[in-house]
Chains A and B, each alone.
Chain A
Amino acid sequence: MSKDQATSTPFTKGLGFFVLLGMLLLIILGIFVSPADVNQGESVRIMYAHVPGAWLAYLAFIVTAVSSAAYLWKRTRSLTWDRIAGASAEVGVLFMGISLVTGSLWGRLTWGTYWTWDARLTTTAFLFVTYIGYLAVRGLGGTHQQRARRSAVLALLAVLEIPLVHFSVEFWNTLHQKASVAGRGTNVEMNGLMLFTLFLGVVVFTLMYVWLVLHRQRSLMLEDMLDDSGLDNALNERRAEATRVGN
C-alpha cells in the first residue's frame, strides 16, 4: 500500500494519541479516584461509560442523517457524504450496543431490573435495531450510487420513524403504566470530581468517535476504489484477451 493510501494522517495520529491519553485518565478517575455515590454506591461508575456512550450513539445517528441529506441534495452530492453516513452509523451501532449493555447492568444494580418500558429506553432499542437494518441495506450490493441513494433515503425515514416510536411509547406509558421504576433511586448528588469525570468521558468518547469515523470513512473509500479497480482490471484483461485472439 502506497503512503497516500493509508488511512491515517498526522492529524488522526495526534488525535489518536490524545484519545489514548484521555481514556487512560478517564479509567483512573472513573474507577479509582472519584468517590462512590451516596445513593447508588459503586454502581455510579458505570455512568462514566454509559452516558458518553449514549450521547455518542445519538450524535452518530444525527451525523448519519445530516450526511444522508447532504448526499441527496443535488448541489452537495458526493460519495464522501455517503461514506461518512455509513462510517458514522457503524460507530453509532457500536456505541448504542455499549450504552444498552451498561445501562441494563446499571439498572439491575440500581432499580433491581435489567429493563423497563420507559420511552427513552424503548426508543433507544428501536434506534439500535433500525440502524442494524440500515447497515444491512448498505450491504445489499449494486453500484456505489445505488447503495448511497438507498441508504440515504432509509436514514431520512429513520428520522421520521424514531420520534413517532418515542411519542407512541410515551403515550402508551402515560395511559397504562403509571408507576414506572424509572425515577426511583436515580437522584445522583454529583460532586465536582464526579462531574469532571463525566465531562471528561463525554469529551474523550467524542474525540474517539471522530477518530473512528475518519479512519472508517477512509477505509470505506479504499474499499470502493478496490471495487472500481477490480472492475477496471477485469475489463482490461478481457480487452487484452480480445486483442490476443484478434492477432
Chain B
Amino acid sequence: MTSQQRLTGTTVIGTARLIAAKDLRVELRSRVLLNQVLPFALIVMVMFAFALDSDAVLERVAPGLVWLAALFSTLIMVSRSFAVETADGALDQLRSAGVPAMGIFIGKMMALMAQLVVLVTLLIIAAIVLYRAELSWSGSVLLVTTGLTATCGLAAVGTLYGGLAAGAKGRETLLPLLLLPVVAPVLIGATRATESAFGTRGVSTSQGWPWLGLLAVFAVLFSVSGAVALGPLLDD
C-alpha cells in the first residue's frame, strides 16, 4: 500500500516535472512569450499612460495598472498554453496513455507560473520607469512575496479554466468571460499589496501583509481544486 502510494506520488511529480519542462522548452524555442506577450504587456502600459494623461494619476494607479496588464496577458498565455496541447490532440493522447491528470495540472501550472513571474517582473520595472513608482527595501520583500503568491493563484486558475475550455469551439472568446470574474480577488489583493510596497498614497508596507493572506488563500484553494477537478474535465 505504501509502496503503491509512493509510486503514484512519484508518477504525479515526475509527470509534472516532464510537462513543465516540455512547456518551457516549447516556449524557449517558439519565443512566443518573449516576442509577443511581453511586448503586448508593455504596449498596454504605454497606452494606459495615454489614456490617463497625468503623471500624478499614473503614480497613484500604477499598482492597479500593473496587475490589470498582468491579467490581460495571463488570458493570452493560458490560451497559448492549451492551444499547444489541443492542436494535435496531444491532451487526449496524454490521457489515453494513462498519464495522471494531476501531474498534467501541476506541470502546466508550474510552467505558466514561471512565465507569469517573468511577465510581472517586467511590468513592475515598467511601472518604476514609466510611472515613477518608488520601491524601498522593505517594500521589495513584500512585492516579491506578493508577486509569487499572486502568480501562483493566477497560474492555478488559468490552468483549471484553460483545461475546461480546451478543445471546445470558440474557447478564445469564452476564456476571458470565465476567467476574469474568478481572478477579481487576485486583482484586488495584489493591487493593494503592491500599493503598500510602492508606498502609493502614503500607505505603509505593513498594511500590505493582510492582503497577502487573501492571495495565499486564493492560491491554495484553486491549486487544490484544480488538481482534483482537471481529471474529470479532461476525461470526456
Residues of A within 8 A of B (CB): 72, 126, 129-130, 132-133, 136-137, 140-143, 145-146, 149-150, 153-154, 156-157, 160-161, 164-165, 167-169, 171-172, 175
Contact = CB atoms under 8 A, between A and B. Distances in A.
Given A141-B168, A149-B235, A171-B211, 17 more contacts: A129-B177, A133-B174, A137-B164, A140-B170, A142-B236, A145-B236, A153-B232, A154-B164, A154-B178, A157-B182, A160-B225, A164-B185, A165-B181, A168-B189, A168-B214, A169-B188, A171-B210
Nearest to A140: B168
A157 B229 contact: yes
Contacts of B210: 171
A161 B184 CA distance: 9
B233 A175 contact: no
Contacts of B169: 140-141
B90 interface: no
B197 interface: no
Contacts of B182: 130, 157, 161
B177 A136 contact: yes
5 contacts: A129-B177, A136-B174, A150-B164, A157-B182, A168-B214
Interface string B151-166: 0000000001000110
Nearest to B228: A153
B232 A165 contact: no
* Binding site secondary structure of chain A: helix
B192 interface: yes
Contacts of A133: 174, 177-178, 181
A73 B236 CA distance: 16
Contact of A175 (B168, B177, B184, B192): B192
Contacts of A167: 185, 214
Contact of A149 (B178, B207, B233): B233
Contacts of A136: 174, 177-178
Contacts of A129: 177, 181
A84 B25 CA distance: 45
Contacts of A72: 232
Contacts of B56: none
Interface string B200-236: 0000000100110010011001100100010011011
Nearest to A166: B185
Contacts of A160: 221-222, 225
Given A133-B174, A165-B185, A172-B188, A153 B168 contact: no
A136 B175 CA distance: 10
Nearest to B236: A146
Smallest CB-CB A-B distances: 7 pairs? A168-B185, A140-B168, A146-B236, A133-B178, A133-B177, A168-B188, A164-B185
Contacts of A175: 192, 207
B35 to A, nearest CB: 31
A132 B214 CA distance: 26
A165 B184 contact: yes
